[in-house]
């Protein structure tokens, strides 16, 4: 377990990520979780003593605990970032994690719902407060391709004129997104009853029964609940709605650059993973429709 003096630098780093790097709260929580687990059994007197052998020991311990290659790579990345910060603060001479190669891993394709499944999920007939709120929330997330943190951070003033949504994404980058007709209609219904849950000075667009901003964990929990209520036959999380948005728009438009802008991806390479999904869709169409692809009986 880290000594108070060593842990204080971890706290400073997390504050740096929040106030200097403007990372989302969920990202900061992930960094904190990874670094706390990494340094749980570290026995050194100062960060200047942190060596390559310590990093290797941390990763080997993770393997013994059956962590996946993806999780180990994430832990190594977190350690690298923290060590870079320590170098900037003159607490460490060189980065002991920079020479260690992350384990190879297959990049998983994002999971998404097809159009029929999405329609089934959003066909909510209940008219209670929470049902109306959740429908508007999911319609907006799917209709605009929002990240979970972006959805949770929305305020009333995020809704602009002409059905546009002002979103603050990663790195505090702002983008304006069109709100589709169905999502706009669901929002109108929600905004009419929102005062029954929200106090007059609450800026958050989506609020809980406690009259406070709805958190990311609560949002994820509600979506999982609706998947069961709508008899979807599979679990649903916020990322599936974002991935479904990207896949469906790309399938219809084939405009990769446009999808990149809508998703708020800094690099096109991040968006290109959806081209694999699009190819799978086209391959399925080919197999089912092309006369030369059909198997003989």
Per DSSP, the three-state class of 122 is: helix
Q: Name residues whose C-beta falls within 8 Å of residue 235's C-beta, 6 or more positions apart in sequence.
A: 224, 227
Respond yes or no: is residue 173 known to be catalytic. no
Cβ(32)–Cβ(16) below 8 Å: no
Task: Exactly one of 12, 166, 239, 281 is catalytic; name it.
Answer: 239
Q: What is the C-alpha separation between 154 and 137, in angstroms, rounded?
A: 10
Active-site residue, from 194, 242, 243, 248: 242
- φ/ψ of 101, rounded to 5, equals -90, 135
Residue 274 annotated in active site: yes
Tell me whether residue 13 is one of the annotated catalytic residues: no
Q: Which long-range contacts (CB under 8 A, 24 or more apart) does 52-60 make?
A: 52/96, 52/97, 52/99, 52/100, 54/96, 55/79, 55/96, 55/97, 55/100, 56/100, 59/100
Active site residue 242: yes
Among the options 170, 175, 212, 281, which is catalytic? 170
Annotated catalytic residue: which of 75, 133, 147, 248?
147
- Look at strands 164-168 and 159-160 and give their pairing: antiparallel
Residues contacting 14, CB < 8 A, separation 6+: 28, 31, 32
Q: What count of Cα atoms within 13 Å lies in the side-chain half-sphere of residue 277?
A: 24
3-class SS of residue 49: helix
Q: Is 170 a catalytic residue?
A: yes
Catalytic positions: 147, 170, 239, 242, 265, 274
């Amino acid at each position: 377990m880290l000594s108070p003096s060593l842990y204080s630098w971890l706290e400073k780093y997390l504050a740096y990520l929040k106030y200097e790097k403007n990372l989302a709260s969920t990202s900061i929580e992930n960094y904190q979780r990874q670094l706390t687990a990494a340094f749980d059994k570290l026995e050194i007197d100062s960060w200047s003593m942190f060596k390559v052998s310590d990093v290797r020991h941390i990763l080997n311990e993770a393997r013994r605990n059956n962590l996946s290659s993806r999780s180990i790579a994430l832990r190594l990345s977190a350690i690298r970032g923290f060590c870079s910060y320590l170098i900037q603060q003159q607490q460490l001479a060189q980065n002991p994690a920079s020479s260690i190669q992350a384990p190879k891993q297959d990049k998983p394709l994002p999971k998404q719902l097809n159009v029929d499944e999405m329609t089934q999920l959003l066909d909510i007939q209940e008219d209670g407060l929470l049902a109306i709120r959740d429908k508007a929330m999911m319609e907006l997330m799917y209709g605009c391709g929002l990240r979970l943190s972006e959805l949770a951070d929305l305020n009333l003033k995020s809704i602009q004129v002409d059905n546009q949504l002002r979103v603050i994404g990663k790195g505090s980058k702002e983008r304006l997104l069109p709100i589709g007709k169905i999502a706009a209609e669901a929002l109108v219904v929600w905004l009419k009853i929102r005062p029954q849950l929200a106090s007059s000075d609450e800026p958050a667009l989506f609020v809980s029964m406690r009259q406070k901003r709805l958190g990311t964990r609560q949002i994820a929990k509600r979506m999982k609940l609706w998947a069961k209520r709508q008899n979807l036959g599979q679990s649903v999380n916020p990322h599936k709605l974002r991935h479904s948005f990207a896949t469906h728009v790309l399938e219809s438009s084939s405009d990769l650059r446009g999808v990149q802008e809508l998703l708020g991806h800094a690099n096109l390479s991040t968006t290109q993973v959806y081209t694999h999904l699009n190819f799978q869709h086209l391959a399925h169409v080919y197999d089912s429709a092309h006369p030369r692809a059909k198997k003989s009986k």
